[in-house]
Amino acid sequence: MKKFPTLLASLLLAFGLASTDTAAAAEPAPIHFGAIGWESGALTTEILRLIVEKGYGLPTDTLPGSTVSMEVALARNDLQVIAEEWAGRSPAWVKAEQAGQVFALGDTVKNAEEGWWVPAYVIKGDPARQLKALAPDLHSVDDLKRYPQLFKDPEAPGKGRFLNSPSGWTSETVNSQKLKAYGLDGLYNNFRSGSGAALDAEIGSAIRRGQPVLFYYWSPTPLMGRYELVRLEEPPFDAAAWATLTDANNPAPKGSRSLPAKLSIGVSKAFRDAHPELVAVFEKVDLPIKTLNKALALMSETRQPPREAALAFLRDNPAVWKAWLPAENAAKVEAGL
């Protein structure tokens, strides 16, 4: 009889451990999202994670990597979701997509774009800042031939300055070839910033001072939500011309707008097969670009972590994201905010 309490305790302990092991085994594995480094991708990642966690009760986490390494990991199902995938631009993506290992869901940010820009006040002036229009007839890249002195480079007398992407970016090669294609390479200095942050800093400094500045940029980004900018017109997109722009060694590049951007949510085959309810949501994701740019600008200016910015976005824009979800799941997300 003295052994009975000890025996009972052992049985209860064993039962408790078994129950714990069963519960642990039943808990779903987290859905791995790629930890995207740029602002729009980081914000979109957290918006989707919150929807998955709050609306469907599934755990998530993020894993870091470069763009290409994340695409390779997605093909292997080491990652399940890349929240902002510029589908079709990377050989790694194209190969995996052709093999049926990855899928691009939806059209998440319509009218995403890249090109050459100037501040609106250069063309229209800004009465509030007492700035006169300096180039009212500037509308296209061809018009830039008349304005190198307006965008003069302080380090290259007699030439204008074009702010290109940092060296090593794919867009840097394209822009360098475009300068040749448009007959501007002899008129403008091809200035390559040391980093994306340095490019932002130079553009922002010029705009704060009301100075003319000519630069390459893309959207969605905080910069687009912060300032009024005008994109200069280019010839319509042409696939043959685009091939000459992406080849740094082509001696005779031809002008063309950049390859049209299509932003999607990249998922692995295993995720697509296992979570049809989330696939249905992801296929409906539509982030209005003006709303997104403003949210990115606020996130940047206030130095909000992407998770906090995503919470604010969901609280402030229920009409946007509720359209993606069944009413029951949308109510769960709302309650979780």
Quick: pLDDT tens for 86-139. Answer: 887 777 888 999 999 999 999 999 988 899 999 999 999 999 999 999 999 999
Across 12-33, average pLDDT: 62
What pLDDT is recorded for position 16?
A: 52
Tell me the C-alpha distance between 228 and 118, whole Å. 9
Q: Cα 300 to the chain's mean position, in Å?
A: 14
Cut 0.95: pTM above it: no
> What is the distance between the alpha carbons of residues 70 and 302, in angstroms, rounded to a whole number?
29
Q: What is the pLDDT of residues 31-73, one digit of tens each?
A: 999 998 788 999 999 999 999 999 999 999 999 988 888 999 9
Contact 118, 138 (CB under 8 A): yes
Distance between CA 318 and CA 219 in Å, rounded? Answer: 23
C-alpha–C-alpha distance, residues 211 and 135, integer Å: 12
Domains of the chain: 28-110+262-336 (3.40.190.10), 113-245 (3.40.190.100)
pLDDT of residue 59: 97
Tell me the pLDDT band of 12, cut-offs 50, 70 and 90: very low
Provide the 8-state DSSP code for 220. S
pLDDT, tens digit (0-9, with 9 covering 90-100), for 200-240:
899 999 999 999 999 999 988 888 888 999 999 999 999 99
- H or E element: which one contains 211? none
Mean pLDDT, all residues of the chain? 90
